[in-house]
Amino acid sequence: MAKLSEILKRRSPLLNMLTPETPVADAVRIMNERQVGAVLIGESGHLVGIFSERDLLRRVVAPGLPVQSTPLREVMTRSLITAEPGEDRMSAIRKMHRAGCRHLPIAVGDELIDTVSIRDLLFAEIEEREGEIEELKRYIQGQ
Per-run averaged pLDDT (10 residues), the chain, 143 residues: 84 82 97 92 89 96 97 95 92 92 88 88 82 82 78
The two beta strands, 38-43 and 17-18, are parallel
Does the structural domain 4-140 have CATH classification 3.90.550.10?
no
Every domain of the chain and the residues it spans:
4-140
| pLDDT for res 60 | 98
| pLDDT for res 107 | 87
| pLDDT for res 96 | 93
| pLDDT for res 15 | 78
| pLDDT for res 73 | 97
Q: Residue 72's Cα: distance from chain center in Å?
A: 17
pTM here is 0.81
| pLDDT for res 86 | 93
CA distances from 4 to 21, 49, 60 (A): 31, 21, 32
| pLDDT for res 45 | 78
Query: How far is Cα 55 from Cα 76, in angstroms, rounded to an integer?
Result: 7
